[in-house]
Structure 1
Amino acid sequence: MSQVLYVPRRLLEETRAHLDREVPKEGVGLWAGRREVERVIPLPNAHPEPRVGYLAEPVALLRALREMEKEGLTLLAIYHSHPKGPAFPSPTDIREARWRVPYVIFGTDGVRAFLLPEGREIPVVLLP
């Protein structure tokens, strides 16, 4: 697992555009690649209260993981938004963390990534 996330600026902006389209709901998706982010994979938010939480729709998530595997890509991170809050893990984010990849949070104050549930911040490095 990488201790740094490398993301091309255009893919960061593609992610931000996806999340902007989801407002006022939280958006969710995956970053896939080899050494750096190569694909942004938006997923439907199936959370019963999508304005305050996220849950990647299970069938879409499974389909995305299979597609990544066929393409030789690895799951590098899970991203989601906090449309009305900071880019910091909520107690729910920490409690529900299951994957051993960074969780990237887009908040009103920017973008940050964390290993959860421990809460260690992971650098996000923008590439040209």
Structure 2
Amino acid sequence: MLRIQQDCLEQTLSHLQAVLPREGVGLWVGKRGQVRQVWPLENVHPMPQKRYEADPQALTMLLLRIEREGLELVAIYHSHPTGPARPSETDRSQAFWRVPYVIFDMQSGEVRAYRLPEGDEVVIQLEVATPKV
């Protein structure tokens, strides 16, 4: 199960909307399935409207930073500008990390997470912060 607070979800959506009509990609970072930070990456794929590829140098630097800061790679997120929120064959074939892959359908607003390449769905729990009184 992935747990994410509203502000991290909003940061993710803001990033993905800003890069439309391209696919967006980034990392959810935290501990034990709890997303604490959103780290957007640049999509450097030659056909960014249909595929994504994180900038390899930036990805390597962020992975080293995760390790240095004692954090974990909780999930990898990306968008499908024209849907659906389901993994494509390319998504499955290029799933190299053993973390959930979160897919945002930018047309319907649907969000789903999967363990790839298997395709098992992962539950995403939205944690609403309780206001301090």
The answer to whether the superposition gives a TM-score over 0.5 is yes
Equivalent residue, structure 2, for 1:16: 13
Structure having the higher Rg: 2
Per-residue Cα deviation, 1:45-69 (whole angstroms, up to 9, x for no partner):
0111000000010000011111111
TM-score, scaled to structure 2: 0.92
Residue segments in structure 1 that go unaligned for 5+ positions in a row = none
Q: Give 1:30's aligned residue.
A: 27
Instruction: Give 1:61's aligned amino acid.
Output: L
**Structure 2, gaps ≥5 residues long:** 129-133
Match of 1:50 in 2: 48
Shift of 1:71: 1.2
- Deviation of residue 86 (structure 1)? 1.1
Q: What is the distance in 1 between the residues matched to 2:6 and 2:86?
A: 21
> Which position in structure 2 is the counterpart of 1:71?
69
- CA deviation map 1:79-115 (0-9, x unaligned): 0000111111011111111110000001133110000
Q: What is the rounded CA distance, in whole Å, between the counterparts of 1:18 and 1:71 in structure 2?
A: 23
Structure 2 counterpart of 1:96: 94
User: How many residue pairs are counted as aligned between the two chains?
Assistant: 125
Q: Percent identity?
A: 53
Which residue of the partner structure matches residue 118 of structure 1? Answer: 118
Q: Which runs of 4+ in 1 moved over 4 A?
A: none
CA distance in 1, matches of 2:4, 2:55: 24
**1:3-47 alpha-carbon deviations (Å, 9 max, x no partner):** x00000110010000000010000000000013101100001011
2:58 aligned counterpart, secondary structure: helix
| 1-structure distance, mates of 2:68, 2:127 | 26
The TM-score, its normalising length taken from structure 1, stands at 0.95
Aligned equivalents of 1:17, 1:125: Cα separation in 2: 19
Distance 2:43 2:82 in 1: 17
